[in-house]
Amino acid sequence: MSDPSITVAVDPTNPGQFFACCGLLELTDRLWPAAEGWFAAGGREFRIACSGTLPKLVEAIGTAELTPQNPKDGTSTPFTVGKPFRPLVIDWWETDQTGGRDLKVWAGTMESYGIAYAMQQALNDERFRQPNLFDVGMVVPNPHEPTKKKEPYYYDARRAPNAHSRDIGFSPNDLGSTTTAHPAVELLCVIGLQVARPRKTDEPRIYDYFTWPVPLTTNLILAAGCGALGLRGQRGYRFENWFRTGQKKHKAFKTALPLTTEGA
């Protein structure tokens, strides 16, 4: 087995963190080619074998060129992650061919590029250069208006509980409330969904994903993440992409439940 040079702590029942791992591996490979990644310690660690280190990787992510394809369409424009990485276009919500459109959680005035840029800038905080970067939470400032805050996509499953107005007695969206976000999860998840997808079930908005226990290169994570490789030791999880507002426009990834059998 490859020796890891990067190790990240993961909650495998948080689908946002799972897809953030996929995004982290993809970016690693675009910085240091031939990177391999896998889940260890019961899925609670994501390990990457490459020629770099986590601090260098996070520094590169925080300072990378992030370019909107259509600056006039702030709410849904695709964007490109560029230098120092090999360019990667993030546009998975633009088509139904891969089922990506159903995984889009933001709506209304929320901005695809604006949120990504704010989360990226937050990663320049030194705290994100540690293995627990997925657990670093903060109220994220708007880089263009620092006195204002930028709310995340809602891919981090820790945001889903009590997000609906019927649970807390008011609508955070309507009041413009700000709450703690986990920038590394939000940004890396939206990147990870470009290269990995959960497996659809027969129920609307219910999906499965699978951790894999052996080192894999990025060309295999799409198949591994949806369980198609049938790897011995893979672990499956099921989650809901949940409507978090009464208008049924905004969604959130909810915490996943383990599947009872491997490859189920």
DSSP per-residue string spanning 105-117 = ---TT--HHHHHH
Domain annotation covers residue 264 = no
Domain annotation covers residue 1 = no
Residue 164's pLDDT is what?
39
Under 8 Å between Cβ of 155 and 16: yes
DSSP per-residue string spanning 77-90 = --EEE-TTSPPEEE
Q: Which DSSP helix (H) or strand (E) runs through 187?
A: helix 183-195
Residue 174's pLDDT is what?
46
Residue 71's pLDDT is what?
86
Return the number of other C-beta atoms located less than 10 Å from residue 257's C-beta: 12
Residue 165's pLDDT is what?
40
Residue 261 has pLDDT above 80, yes or no: no
Residue 188's pLDDT is what?
98
Average pLDDT value for the chain? 89
Averaged pLDDT, 110-124: 95
Residue 98's pLDDT is what?
65
Q: Tell me the pLDDT tens digit for each residue of 168-216.
A: 443 444 444 457 999 999 999 999 999 999 999 999 999 999 999 999 9
Residue 162 has pLDDT above 60, yes or no: no
Q: Tell me the pLDDT tens digit for each residue of 170-183.
A: 344 444 445 799 99
Domain annotation covers residue 69 = yes
Residue 170's pLDDT is what?
37
Q: Which has the higher per-residue pLDDT, 77 or 162? A: 77
DSSP lists the bridge partners of residue 211 as 235
Domain annotation covers residue 70 = yes
3-class DSSP assignment, residue 40:
strand
Domain of residue 125: give its range.
6-258
3-class DSSP assignment, residue 253:
strand
Residue 167 has pLDDT above 60, yes or no: no
Residue 171's pLDDT is what?
43
C-alpha to C-alpha distance for 228 and 12, rounded to whole angstroms: 18
Domain annotation covers residue 263 = no
The residue written with tokens 């260890």 in the block is 40
The residue written with tokens 């978090």 in the block is 244
When divided into structural domains, the chain yields a total of 1
Return the DSSP state at 127. G
Residue 236's pLDDT band, with cuts at 50, 70 and 90, is very high
Domain annotation covers residue 12 = yes
C-alpha to C-alpha distance for 102 and 96, rounded to whole angstroms: 8
Q: Tell me the pLDDT tens digit for each residue of 12-59.
A: 999 999 999 999 999 999 999 999 999 998 999 999 999 999 999 999
Cis preceding linkage at 146, omega within 30: no
Q: What is the pTM of this model?
A: 0.90
Domain annotation covers residue 84 = yes
CA-CA distances (angstroms) from residue 171 to 44, 153, 164?
33, 16, 7
Residue 96's pLDDT band, with cuts at 50, 70 and 90, is confident
Angle at alpha carbon of residue 238, lines to 237 and 243, rounded to 5°:
140
Pick the closest to residue 48 from 17, 27, 63, 62 (CA basis). Answer: 27
Residue 107's pLDDT is what?
83
Domain annotation covers residue 185 = yes
Question: Checking DSSP bridges between strand 251-253 and strand 6-9, what pairing results, if any?
Answer: unpaired
C-alpha to C-alpha distance for 26 and 254, rounded to whole angstroms: 24
